[in-house]
Amino acid sequence: MDKTIHIKSFVYSLVILSFFAVLFACGQSKKKETTPTVPQDTSTQPSVLSTQEKLLFEKVMHLHDSAMERMGEINQSMKQMRKLSIDTKSSEELKAQARDALEKLTIADKAMWDWMYGFRKKEKWNGKAGDYINYLHKQDSSMQIVNESIITALKQADQILNKTQ
């Protein structure tokens, strides 16, 4: 009987000790890691947005992200078109097509970076209160145009590349 009580209290003490050991060993550093001071401009979803603004903001961002995914491809295609446009093995017709495609790619690329440079989150936007929704609508339209130009330019470059293969 005494022995059973002794074992039980030993196991109980072991569990308590383990708990404190774990807290002591790992708790301190994790606390420090999870409480950073983050500057305001690193927030991605401004809390100042109304529900309608938030929905539209997310729509614009979704479109932006899908266009952004293709920027690596744009860069790659630009390099390929540049190479084709000066390649001595290319026909004059192919060189001209490559130059045209390169120009379209360059315009689409520039339009994308300029759009992002010009885009303002609400906390940095200087327009009239209540007009931010109109601003987002305009940004949505212009992002759609940029996205289209990226798709068209990439398609044109792909067609030229296919001819050379």
Partner 1 sequence: MKAIAPLFLLFIVMVACNYNPKYKLPIIGQRTLENGEVVDHVIRPFEFVDQDSNTVRNATLKDKIYVADFFFVSCPSICPLMTKQMLRLYKKYKNEPGVLFLSHTIDPRHDTVGRLRRYAGKLGVKSSKWHFVTGERDSIYGIAGDYFIAVEDESGNGDPASLIHSGKFMLIDGSGHVRSYCDGTDPKDVEKFMFDIDHLLQEEKDKNAAK
Residues lying near partner 1 in the complex (CB under 8 A) are found at: 7, 10, 14, 17-18, 21-22, 25-26, 29, 32-34, 36, 38-39, 41-44, 61, 64-65, 68-73, 75-76, 79, 113, 116-117, 119, 121
Q: What is the Cα–Cα distance from 2 to 136, expressed in whole angstroms?
A: 76
Burial class (CB in 10 A: 0-12, 13-18, 19+), 63: middle
For partner 1, the closer of residues 93 and 118 by Cβ is: 118
Name the DSSP letter for residue 41.
G
For partner 1, the closer of residues 44 and 51 by Cβ is: 44
* Whether the Cβ atoms of residue 152 and residue 105 lie closer than 8 Å to each other: no
Q: What is the Cα–Cα distance from 105 to 156, expressed in whole angstroms?
A: 9
Q: How far is the CB of 20 from partner 1 (least distance, A)?
A: 10
Q: How far is the CB of 69 from partner 1 (least distance, A)?
A: 6
Q: How far is the CB of 119 from partner 1 (least distance, A)?
A: 5
For partner 1, the closer of residues 76 and 142 by Cβ is: 76
For partner 1, the closer of residues 32 and 93 by Cβ is: 32
Name the DSSP letter for residue 45.
S
Spatial neighbors of 109 by CB under 8 A, at least 6 apart, are 71, 74, 75, 78, 150
Burial class (CB in 10 A: 0-12, 13-18, 19+), 135: middle
For partner 1, the closer of residues 2 and 65 by Cβ is: 65
Q: How far is the CB of 13 from partner 1 (least distance, A)?
A: 9
Q: How far is the CB of 159 from partner 1 (least distance, A)?
A: 18
